[in-house]
Amino acid sequence: MIRKNRLAALFASLAVPLVACASALPAQAKPAPAPLPAPKLVLAIAVDQFSADLFAQYREHYTGGFARLLKGAVYPSGFQSHAATETCPGHSTILTGVHPGRAGIVANNWYDLSASRAEKRIYCAEDEKDPASTSGKPVVSAVHLRVPTLGERMKMQWPASRNVAVSAKDRAVMMMGGHQIDAAYWWLGDKFVTLKGRAPVPVAVAENAMVGALLKKGAPAFTPPAYCAAHDRALKAGEVEIGTGRFALKAGQNDAFRVSPRIDAATADLAVALASDMKLGKGAALDVLSVSFSATDYIGHAYGTQGVEMCIQMAQLDATLGSLFARLDKQGIDYVAVLTADHGGLDTPERLDEQSLPDATRVDVGLTPGKLSAALAAKLGLPAAAGLVSSDGPFGDYYVSRALPDAVRAKAIIELAALLGSSTQVAAVFTHEELARTPLPAGSPQDWTLKDRARASFDPERSGDVVSLLRRVVVPIPRAAPGYTATHGSPWDYDRRVPMLFWRKGMTGFEQPAPVETVDIAPTLAALIGLKVAEASFDGRCLDLDAGPGNTCPVAK
């Protein structure tokens, strides 16, 4: 693509003298295209774990929905700029236009040691004040999201505007939809479900019936495209064999359905059905339809990013997107589409080791909260207390028990930071105080320090007493398990860089390789649709989607 553009530029520079003596050639000056009218629907798509690396690897093969998006404004280096590259923080940036620290979404799970309920672990998309909620089985809510989403801002300006969000993951729905969602659906076990106190609408019931029939009957394996052949090789990640899967679905294997391209197809089906049922894009005001596709993430975790499984998924996702666009076109909806990801991802370390990255390794169990609790107790001369240190895993936010007297606790925090920092697998450790003192980073996210990245996903109330960042290619899964051999969550660019693709019918496409940020998406869309937003509401900036001298952003006076 870039090569072709360079050639085109070269010809353009040669063309002037040629045109002067060749009257048969068309005239040079083309009238500037008229500015695009505002669309009727914002179609915001997130592909979970769709790294800029996967996009670069597969873009030459795209023939479906991605081929359309490639004709729009292409930003191959979008950044989820923060350190906590997990699903919930990542989704929280896309339609709020703010970093996760400001959104209050510091991780998928954090600890509130002063919570009134017995369980102190808080899931990002639960209402823990509801006695029925636990972090594992949440009463789903956006109560922790501190800022409005684009759909909510649209409702403030245009009360008739509808805000709809669909995904396999509840947290993706809540972070893209927000507090006021007209229709919210996610996958739970064997069907799509909605918010507490609401009944699923008939089209959702119908979609569940179709999926239910498929789950009962099973489905054949996918045939990988020819270009997947080199990926089709068995690999052992610990005891787990991966690399040659084809997603054959045996009857009743509901989890195999979830970890397959089929969950994306079902998500798209439900989105199309809701669009049709609610007449999205046909009402008195602009609507927003958020669709987050989860299969790429589930498949990345289960099989890594470089097996035949991901290759099949990339082809199927392209087809699912193509079908989604075609069916919305058929409904006659005039939409602007944006596609990005909540974070990137890294391959399974056992495969990385074979493919030129011998430094890739699994995290030391010594960095898990249980082991750290014991080590810290020994160091401080405290009785070995379980729960002295809490964390959601062997990296990120660590919390020191509030049961300790203040002076002991202050010492424990310093010792914990020292313990973490002494690990050869840890790149940087920051205390809560240190991050609270750090100003919000600005400038190109590519150049941010590790502290800047940690600051962008820091919230003074919710972040840990200590934030620990693992070294590059240390995979924070101590032992591979079925469904979980690879992951993301690091402050490194394989987890931070994601594509950002904007498409609108009739637009002239272009590619801008410079770093941009996912927090730029909301201000970009807001300008495009004429949404009035108070100054400093966003951390990101408006991206000009006009390829020529026109500008889709407000021009400074």
Chain centroid to CA 403: how far? Answer: 36
Which one of 101-109, 193-201, 204-212, 292-300 is the stretch in contact with Zn ion (CB under 5 A)?
Answer: 292-300
User: Is 87 annotated in the active site?
Assistant: yes
Number of chain residues interacting with Zn ion (CB under 5 A): 1
Q: Of the two residues 203 and 341, which places its CB atom closer to Zn ion in the complex?
A: 341
Strand partners, 503: 337
Residue 63 token pair = 């023939």
In the numeric block, the tokens 């005891």 are attached to 239
CA distances to 493, 520, 530, 545, 557 from 527, in Å: 29, 11, 5, 10, 16
Task: Name the minimum Å distance from CB 12 to Zn ion.
Answer: 44
> Among candidates 429, 507, 521, 379, which has minimal Cα distance to 71?
507
Q: How far apart are CA 389 and CA 377, in angstroms?
A: 10
Q: Of the two residues 295 and 527, which places its CB atom closer to Zn ion in the complex?
A: 295
**Is residue 347 a contact point for Zn ion (CB under 5 A)?**
no
Q: Of the listed 63, 85, 87, 487, which one is catalytic?
A: 87
Which one of 63-71, 279-287, 290-298, 432-440 is the stretch in contact with Zn ion (CB under 5 A)?
Answer: 290-298
Task: Name the minimum Å distance from CB 417 to Zn ion.
Answer: 27
Query: 220 Cβ partners below 8 Å, 6+ apart?
Result: 248, 249
Q: How many CB atoms lie within 10 A of CB 193?
A: 18
**Is residue 452 a contact point for Zn ion (CB under 5 A)?**
no
Task: Name the minimum Å distance from CB 298 to Zn ion.
Answer: 8
Residue 423 token pair = 């690990």
Task: Name the minimum Å distance from CB 322 to Zn ion.
Answer: 25
**Is residue 170 a contact point for Zn ion (CB under 5 A)?**
no
Q: Of the two residues 152 and 297, which places its CB atom closer to Zn ion in the complex?
A: 297
Alpha carbons within 13 angstroms on the beta-carbon side of residue 121 total: 17
Q: How far apart are CA 459 and CA 136, in angstroms?
A: 22
Task: Name the minimum Å distance from CB 343 to Zn ion.
Answer: 7
In the numeric block, the tokens 């750290």 are attached to 372
Q: Of the two residues 297 and 493, which places its CB atom closer to Zn ion in the complex?
A: 297
Q: Of the two residues 339 and 416, which places its CB atom closer to Zn ion in the complex?
A: 339
Query: 238 Cβ partners below 8 Å, 6+ apart?
Result: 350, 479, 480, 481, 485
Q: Of the two residues 91 and 453, which places its CB atom closer to Zn ion in the complex?
A: 91
Task: Name the minimum Å distance from CB 46 to Zn ion.
Answer: 12
Q: Of the two residues 128 and 297, which places its CB atom closer to Zn ion in the complex?
A: 297
Ranges within 294-333 binding Zn ion (CB under 5 A): 297
| Coil/strand/helix, residue 539 | coil
Q: How many CB atoms lie within 10 A of CB 405?
A: 8
Task: Name the minimum Å distance from CB 86 to Zn ion.
Answer: 7
- The site string for Zn ion over 242-281 (x = CB under 5 A, - otherwise) reads ----------------------------------------
Angle made by CA atoms 50, 56, 61, in degrees to the nearest 5: 95
Q: How long a stretch of residues is the chain?
A: 557
List residues near Zn ion by CB under 5 A: 297
Catalytic residues: 87
